[in-house]
Copies of this chain bind each other. A is one copy, B any other.
Amino acid sequence: MLLTIDFDSEEPIYMQIRNGVVAGIAMGSLRDGDPLPSVRTLGSEIGVNLHTVNKAYKLLQSEGFIEIRRNRGTFIHAGNAAKNTAQFLETTGESLRNMVSEAVTREVDRAVIHKMIDNLYNELGGNT
């Protein structure tokens, strides 16, 4: 299965879909040119409305991760993703600021965070 949805999560379903596709690209299980299921197919597979899938696809398209060809299908096209890095770094910085400030108050050493990131890089980006 391409994706698994946690219906009890606070994370919106369309964001879970979006993040799942991004993770697939990172891990190499989704490569340039690979087709994604149609909005109806994926929707029925994971028990979700086609509009919810469409919302995720539209977002992925706007972020440069996929290409949507009307009446044809949807395909991985991560070549565009390497570009819009500026906004990613900006939002990441804000997110990390909250994370680190909380880590400091909870007396979590920076080495712990560094280790978590290295582990994730090894797991997700180990093939690059």
Contacts and interface: CB of A to CB of B under 8 A. Distances in A.
A75 to B, nearest CB: 15
Interface residues of A, number: 42
Interface of A: 19, 22-23, 25-27, 65, 78, 81-82, 84-85, 88-89, 92-93, 95-108, 110, 112-114, 116-118, 120-121, 124-125, 128
Given A25-B101, A85-B106, A92-B99, 20 more contacts: A22-B98, A22-B102, A22-B105, A23-B101, A25-B105, A82-B105, A85-B108, A88-B103, A88-B108, A93-B116, A96-B99, A97-B120, A100-B121, A100-B124, A100-B125, A101-B124, A104-B124, A104-B128, A110-B121, A110-B125
